[in-house]
Structure 1
Amino acid sequence: MITQTQTSFLVKEKAIQLVKDEFSKALAEKLHLSKISAPIIVQKHTGINDDLCGVERPVKFPIKSMGEESGEVVQSLAKWKRQILGKYDIPVGQGIWTDMRALRTDEILSPIHSLYVDQWDWEKHILPEHRNLQTLKTTVQKIYEAITEVEKLVEIQFPDLKSTLPKNITFIHSEELRQLYPDLTQKEREDRITKTHGAVFIIGIGGKLGDDKIHDDRAPDYDDWSSTSETGMKGLNGDILVWHPKLEKAFEISSMGIRVNAESLMHQCKLQEKTDRLKFPFHQMLLKDELPQSIGGGIGQSRLCMFMLKKHHIGEVQVSIWPETMRKTLAEQGIHLL
């Protein structure tokens, strides 16, 4: 006999699988991506692993069969994917996506942050002349189309899960956002603009704004946040935010952008005083123009499921490690973590 609790659990798992299956197909079709296998570990000396905001520490371990060489659990695959574009000679206008799994042990655990990260990590080959704001916006619009299409499918299969997203996503530069709400913090600005429009792409994450502060941290060696666009503002990257009706906050679904070229890599490493990374094989290949120009990003699988299923906590749609006090407190509120 299947209990009500078991039924609820199985229905949720079915909804999670629906989101993952349908979004994978929609993303691949709209961006012309092919699925490939992804690593969970990389060698430290290659410089391939990402440190995201520039400070996060990867999980490290010695490899006995390789003379105790240091391996690392991936944090994201931005650099690795770009190498793969070149290695497999992926044509211009096409790209790859992976079912990425990672550990980010420096995350502060919260309703939206877990130690365990699962993403649709994707990368697409572009030409140098495509490194512009229009390419970025067009790509964002296609991803957003995929998100809204899947949201409608979820509502058809599970009528209680009503669609909330607007038809179109709103674009705004982080400097424009600062000028619009100069007295608010970065997170407060995100909440205000996302509540107003329902879905927003904030352009230019990582470079200094008019008040000499940054909207949010970004590492210097994957997204291009320092190049000046045709608007006269800096940044060819950004975040997709949607309004989460349960959390009543802006909810980040994706971080993405046009990747650095040799010039912006050098410039951004100097700005952050991290030119020591330029010695790594990946960075040397980029400086020698041995890697294709690309656009790419990560789209949170559990994040998207959490939004689509209207859940309060990411632990309701993925299995991870949580403090027992957190589990107990949430259970008392009727929120049960997997």
Structure 2
Amino acid sequence: MKLVFPENYDPRLSVRETQEAIKYIRDTFQKELGKEMNLERISAPLFVEKSSGLNDNLSGTERPVQFDVSGIPGETMEVVHSLAKWKRMALKEYGFAPGEGLYTNMNAIRRDEELDNLHSCYVDQWDWEQVIRKEDRNLETLKETVRQIFKIIKHMQHEVWYKYPEAAKHLPKDIHFITSQELEDRYPDKTPKERENLICREYGCVFLMQIGDKLKSGEPHDGRAPDYDDWQLNGDILFWFEHLQCALEISSMGIRVDEKALEEQLKKAGCEDRRSLPYHRMLLNGELPYTIGGGIGQSRLCMLLLDRAHVGEVQASIWPEEMRRVCREHGIFLL
């Protein structure tokens, strides 16, 4: 059990006030996200058929929760890890045009997650996806979208400060862009997580780009599935989090693979067998729109804006009894 306990920690809001603040942040942020990015809210599944190829396999080692349904014999269902591929299918099915998009409340179970201050086996995020033109698949589009999301988060900081001035966390004025290779070149003797911490401590907020492909060291900065983000046009939004003295990831996002990038990345990842799955066949045949999209952690955002030391303070999940006991002793109440 790896936990960090800030010295003289004070959550500043009661549990009931915290619940009220969580609802306020979630309700307000999704409205702003939809309005500012021209996204329409839609309903999304909690699980998908394994044979569809729609589930996100994350770094490739996490096990999805699986079950069968008596009314659909011979098929295995999987609780989603994320909706990265499902959203692109939905944009096609619902007839969204370039410049239009969708967002949804995504709930997932990640059974192999290590439980600590930042990680839970329950994932809740706003998954969003927007149709773009093929000529918009470039770095400029990616950076402009990142700045737009950062602006919405900054606006939420002001909203929270106005309503809960004693609890709001002050965020940096701007976001810094850097590639994973530039970061490795800068700190060649550090681990990927140590590099993230160092760069976020320096700038406050960073968009770390180009995650998934191998670096000069021979290893990728972090694992990424080969069949949704284009590894040259993706990244993570990271904030420096003083309480835990580390980088806090709020969003993973990117421009999605086109036919060429999918072929290349499936080959690099040794996953060429996926070409026969329904989703991948559609993509390779040019039947899906070009898109940009990502996920924004709901509990992580509440944790950031309310300056909380444990994700369990803003999310109802499962925790070991020993963790609950020790956290309570340090003034951290897990929902």
> Conserved in 1, the CA contact under 8 Å of 2:169 and 2:306?
no
> Conserved in 2, the CA contact under 8 Å of 1:312 and 1:335?
yes
Structure-2 separation of matches of 1:173 and 1:273: 24
Q: CA deviation at 1:317?
A: 0.5
Deviates more, 1:252-261 or 1:9-18: 9-18
Question: Is 1:150 equivalent to 2:147 in the alignment?
Answer: no
Equivalent residue, structure 2, for 1:242: 239
Equivalent residue, structure 2, for 1:270: 267
Equivalent residue, structure 1, for 2:8: none
Of structures 1 and 2, the one scoring higher in RCO (CA 8 A, sep 6+) is 2
Structure-1 separation of matches of 2:74 and 2:265: 33
Amino acid at match of 2:240: W
The within-5 A match list for 1:165-204 is: 165-204=171-210
Q: CA deviation at 1:326?
A: 1.0
Q: CA deviation at 1:301?
A: 0.2
Structure-2 separation of matches of 1:27 and 1:123: 12
Structure-2 separation of matches of 1:182 and 1:41: 40
SS at match of 1:52: coil
SS at match of 2:108: strand
Count of equivalent residues: 324
Question: Is 1:290 equivalent to 2:287 in the alignment?
Answer: yes
Amino acid at match of 2:273: D
SS at match of 2:216: coil
Structure-2 separation of matches of 1:157 and 1:254: 24
Equivalent residue, structure 1, for 2:330: 333
> Conserved in 2, the CA contact under 8 Å of 1:238 and 1:256?
yes
Report the identity percentage. 51
> Conserved in 1, the CA contact under 8 Å of 2:168 and 2:306?
no
Equivalent residue, structure 2, for 1:111: 117
Q: Among residues 252, 270, 276, which one is paired with 1:255 in the alignment?
A: 252
Q: Among residues 24, 27, 36, which one is paired with 1:21 in the alignment?
A: 27
Q: What does the per-residue CA deviation read over 1:82-125, in whole Å, with 9 as the maximum and x for residues that have no partner? A: 00011111010110000111111111111111111000000000
Q: What does the per-residue CA deviation read over 1:261-313, in whole Å, with 9 as the maximum and x for residues that have no partner? A: 11111111110111111111000000100000000000000000011111111
Q: CA deviation at 1:68?
A: 4.3
Q: CA deviation at 1:190?
A: 0.6
> Conserved in 2, the CA contact under 8 Å of 1:104 and 1:116?
yes
The within-5 A match list for 1:1-338 is: 8-225=14-231, 235-338=232-335
Structure 1 stretches lacking a partner, 5+ long: 226-234
Equivalent residue, structure 2, for 1:229: none
Q: CA deviation at 1:51?
A: 0.9
Amino acid at match of 2:91: L
> Conserved in 2, the CA contact under 8 Å of 1:54 and 1:220?
no
> Conserved in 2, the CA contact under 8 Å of 1:36 and 1:98?
yes
Amino acid at match of 2:252: S
Q: Give the aligned CA root-mean-square deviation in angstroms.
A: 1.2
Runs of 4+ off more than 6 Å: none
Deviates more, 1:257-266 or 1:65-74: 65-74
> Conserved in 2, the CA contact under 8 Å of 1:152 and 1:163?
no
Instruction: Tell me the TM-score normalised to structure 1 length.
Output: 0.94
Structure-1 separation of matches of 2:112 and 2:275: 24
Equivalent residue, structure 1, for 2:7: none
Instruction: Tell me the TM-score normalised to structure 2 length.
Output: 0.95
Structure 2 stretches lacking a partner, 5+ long: 1-10
Q: What does the per-residue CA deviation read over 1:188-223, in whole Å, with 9 as the maximum and x for residues that have no partner? A: 111111011111000011111122221100010010
Deviates more, 1:128-137 or 1:204-213: 204-213
Q: CA deviation at 1:133?
A: 0.4
Amino acid at match of 2:266: C
Q: CA deviation at 1:257?
A: 0.3
Amino acid at match of 1:220: P
SS at match of 1:80: helix
